[in-house]
Amino acid sequence: MLTIGKLGRAAGVKIPTIRYYEQIGLLPEAERSAGNQRLYSRKALDRLTFIRHARGLGFTLEAIRDLLSLSDTPDQPCAAADAIAKAQLSEIEKRLTRLASLKVELKRMVAQCAGGRIADCRVIEVLGDHSLCATDHDHPQGGDSQ
């Protein structure tokens, strides 16, 4: 059995994150010692490692919940897991397209900046007036991305 600290170190996850995953049901509630200390099994470590790897690949918590649910019933076909991974790949491809557009626009802004004073700065000017951009690079939903 592992304490929460040892579990966190073994999986490369911070303690508050482990508690959060427990709170939202991605990790089952830990067993407790006589002194009320959380104790985790090897299965909990494997699950936490799975979650961390999936988060590293950009999967949402909801997608991870679905993948964990699928992994809990290993005899079923993997079509649902494939569909989740394909959807994530599609999102990554959209982000890459957007990032390429951002790169082009930023390079253009920097190339047009002649240095000098802020009053004459092309970077500041373009950031203040989106119509001066050469590409439409706004976030697809029109808000901030995370």
- 63-76 confidence digits (pLDDT tens): 999 999 999 998 98
- 96-127 confidence digits (pLDDT tens): 999 999 898 888 888 887 777 777 787 888 88
pLDDT at 94 over 90: yes
Q: Which H or E run contains 56? A: helix 42-56
pLDDT at 140 over 80: no
Which residues, in sequence order, are bridge partners of residue 39? Answer: 3, 31
* pTM exceeds 0.85: no
Is 108 in contact with 134 (CB distance < 8 Å)?
A: yes
Structure tokens of 13?
Answer: 């996850």
Rg (CA), the chain: 23
Q: Which CATH class is domain 2-71?
A: mainly alpha
- The ranges assigned to domains in the chain are 2-71, 79-132
